[in-house]
Amino acid sequence: MPSDSTPATSALSESPSGVDIGDPAVLAHIAHVVAAAAADSVRSRLGRARVVHTKSSPTDVVTQADLEVEALIRRELLDETPGAAISGEEEGSAAGTTALRWIVDPIDGTINFLYNLPVMSVSIAAELDGTVVAGAVADVVRGEVFSGSRGQGVRCDGSMVTASKVDDLADALVGTGFSYSAEDRSREGEIAALVLPATRDIRNFGSASLHLAWVAAGRLAAFYQRDLNEWDLAAGAFLATEAGARVEYGSEENDGLLLAAAPGVFDQLRRLVTK
């Protein structure tokens, strides 16, 4: 595994397996390998989704595959980094004994998976002492894996990628996502009505982490969405930042807005989506 990044400051930098968890490049490699394996597992289940239960609304579903793939990811990560904490969308948080915490979304795009639509991803981020230092997002259908570590840039299947250099919002292809709440979607529609005529176009593919990976790769100039969970954005927002995008995280001050954009259009877009 590569090991050329600055080590973390925590004294708990080596797992019982001997893996140097203080090295972000090592963590990026683990995230990449596990995300790719998990994406293979999701892909093998396409076309036979089974809903187990719902969460925040009747349209916020959990499938059997969500549960099984998250279990697979947890096993693989703990095999490589025993003692790590893990926070996942389906199984919640499990405490660890080291400075490392993994943040996992087994299928980001579950509704697409349910309807056999070809946009979904696996997202894995590595956090040391409260700061994300590595991550990977795997495109389930295309098989691409976007991964990176702190200070080392971002790669898509080994090739370096960077955020878009666009500086005119009229030339920017922008991604967004919508809430499960009908009330929130009404407001989001009003914002989209402002963004649409000011940009090249809007795309909503239903997988926040993959949208963010595409911002990192310069395929989208920007992505915005409100009220995302940490597993939706941890890896993708990290990759976008490492690839040169400007990223603002959701907070009470900005009404939960996550915005990742090419630096040249960030301010222009932010003025529209915060009206």
Are the CB atoms for 66 and 110 separated by under 8 Å? yes
Q: For the segment 3-61, what is each residue's pLDDT rounded down to a tens digit?
A: 333 333 333 455 656 789 899 999 999 999 999 999 999 999 998 878 876 766 666 67
Q: For the segment 85-108, what is each residue's pLDDT rounded down to a tens digit?
A: 999 988 889 999 999 999 999 999
pLDDT of residue 188: 94
pLDDT of residue 17: 64
* Higher-scoring residue by pLDDT: 180, 158: 158
pLDDT of residue 59: 64
Q: For the segment 165-187, what is each residue's pLDDT rounded down to a tens digit?
A: 999 999 999 999 998 888 888 99
Are residue 196 and residue 245 in the same domain, yes or no?
A: yes
The Cα-based distances of 212 to 48, 79, 83, 92, 246 in angstroms read 27, 28, 29, 23, 11
Are residue 55 and residue 134 in the same domain, yes or no?
A: yes
Stated as kind and residue range, the H or E segment containing 134 is strand 131-139
* Dist. CA 168–CA 174, nearest whole Å: 12
Question: 129, 145, 161: which is the final residue of a domain?
Answer: 161
pLDDT of residue 62: 85
Question: 114, 129, 161: which is the final residue of a domain?
Answer: 161
Confidence at 1, pLDDT banded by 50, 70, 90: very low
pLDDT of residue 58: 63
Q: In terms of residue numbers, what domain contains 44?
A: 24-161
How many structural domains does the chain have?
A: 2
Share above pLDDT 90 across residues of the chain, in percent, rounded to a whole number: 80
3-state secondary structure of 197: helix
